A and B are shown apart, each in its own frame.
Chain A
Amino acid sequence: MSILQPFFLGFLALALIPLILYLIFRLRKHEVAWGATYILRLTINQKKRQNLWKQIVVLSLRTIMLALLALAFARPFLAQGRGGGQEYPRGPQRLHRIVLVDNSQSMLASAGSRTRLDDARAALTGLVAGLRAGDVCGVAPLAPAKPGEPIAALDVPCPSTPDAASAIAARIAVSAEPIDLAAAVRAALASFRDVAAPQRQLIVISDYCRADHPAIDGYDVLGEQLRALGVRTAGLNLGLHDASNLAIESVGSGSELFLPGQLTNLYVDIVNFGDARSPQAKAQILVDGKPFADQVVALPPGGRKRLVFPVALEAGRRRIEVKVDPDALPGDNDVVSFVEARPEVNVLIVTPFDPKAEGFGREGEFLRRALESAAETPSRMKTQVLGANNFIPQDLAGRDVVILCGVPEVPAEIAAGLEQLVRRGGGLLVACGPAVVPAKLNASLKGLLPAELDEPARGEIDPERYTNIQASDIPILLLREFEESQAGDLGAARVYNHIRVKPAPAAGEDDALSATLASASASVRSARPLLSLVTGGPLLLERQVGKGVTLLWTTSLGGSWTSLPVHHAYLPLLVRVVNYAAGFSGHPRNLAPNDAFIADVTDTTGALSVTTPDTRLVSAGVVASAGRRFVRFEDTAAPGVYELQDSAGHVLAPFWVARPMHESDIRGLEPAQVRRLEQALDLRLASDVPGLRAALWRPGDGREFTAWFVLLALALVALDALLTWSWFR
Chain B
Amino acid sequence: MPPDAISSILTGDVVERVRALELFARVRVEGSRLGDNRSPLLGLSPEFVQHRQYLHGDSLRHVDWRILAKTDRMMTKRFQEFTNTRVAVAIDVSGSMSYRGLGMTKHEYAVRCAAILFYLMSLQRDTFSLCLFSGEAVEWTDSGSSRRHLAQVFERLVNTRPEGTTTISPSLERIQLRLNARGLLVVFSDFMDDPAAIASSLGRLRVRGHDVIAFQVLDPSERELDFVDFTQFRDLEDGSLLAADPLLIRDEYRRRFVAHQLELKEQCLAHGIDHAALEVSEHYEVMIGDYLRRRAVGVR
> Nearest-CB distance from B230 to chain A (Å)?
4
> Nearest-CB distance from B267 to chain A (Å)?
16
Name which of B180-188, B250-258, B286-294 contacts chain A.
B250-258
CB 8 Å contact bits of A27-49 with B (1 = contact, 0 = none): 01111111111111111101100
Indicate whether A35 sits within 8 Å of B98 (C-beta atoms), given known contacts A29-B231, A43-B252.
yes
Give complex CA distance A665, B88 in Å: 102
The answer on a CB contact under 8 Å between B236 and A40 is no
Residues of B within 8 A of A31 (CB): 231-234, 241
CB 8 Å contact bits of B241-252 with A (1 = contact, 0 = none): 111110111001
Residues of A within 8 A of B236 (CB): 33-35, 37
Chain B interface, >50% SS class: mixed
Tell me which of B99, B229, B253 contacts A33 (CB under 8 A).
Answer: B99
> Nearest-CB distance from A58 to chain B (Å)?
10
Any A CB within 8 A of the CB of B83: no
Chain B positions 213-237 with a Cβ under 8 Å from a chain A Cβ? 219, 222-223, 225, 227, 229-237
Give complex CA distance A35, B219 in Å: 9
Any A CB within 8 A of the CB of B106: yes
Closest to B222 in A: A36
Any A CB within 8 A of the CB of B96: yes
The answer on a CB contact under 8 Å between B249 and A30 is no
The answer on a CB contact under 8 Å between B256 and A42 is yes
Any A CB within 8 A of the CB of B77: no
Number of interface residues of A (CB under 8 A): 27
The answer on a CB contact under 8 Å between B257 and A34 is no
Residues of A within 8 A of B240 (CB): 37
Indicate whether A47 sits within 8 Å of B192 (C-beta atoms), given known contacts A32-B232, A40-B233.
no
The answer on a CB contact under 8 Å between B230 and A29 is yes
Residues of B within 8 A of A46 (CB): 252
Indicate whether A37 sits within 8 Å of B233 (C-beta atoms), given known contacts A47-B252, A55-B245, A728-B248.
yes
CB 8 Å contact bits of A1-36 with B (1 = contact, 0 = none): 000000000000000000000000110111111111
The answer on a CB contact under 8 Å between A47 and B233 is no
Closest to A22 in B: B230
Residues of B within 8 A of A25 (CB): 229-230
The answer on a CB contact under 8 Å between A47 and B242 is no
The answer on a CB contact under 8 Å between B233 and A32 is yes
Q: A residues engaging B (CB < 8 A)?
A: 25-26, 28-44, 46-47, 51, 54-55, 727-729
Some 26 contacts from A to B, beta carbons below 8 A apart, are A26-B230, A28-B229, A29-B243, A31-B232, A32-B227, A32-B232, A33-B233, A33-B236, A34-B233, A34-B235, A34-B242, A35-B96, A35-B106, A35-B192, A36-B223, A37-B236, A37-B237, A40-B244, A40-B249, A40-B253, A44-B244, A47-B248, A51-B248, A55-B245, A55-B248, A728-B247
Query: Apart from A35-B99, A40-B249, what are 15 other A-B pairs with CB-CB below 8 Å?
Result: A29-B231, A32-B234, A33-B98, A33-B236, A34-B233, A35-B95, A36-B190, A37-B192, A38-B96, A39-B253, A42-B256, A43-B249, A43-B256, A55-B248, A728-B248
Q: B residues engaging A (CB < 8 A)?
A: 95-99, 106, 190, 192-193, 219, 222-223, 225, 227, 229-237, 240-245, 247-249, 252-253, 256-257, 260
The 6 tightest CB contacts between A and B, nearest first, are A35-B99, A38-B192, A34-B233, A728-B247, A35-B96, A37-B235
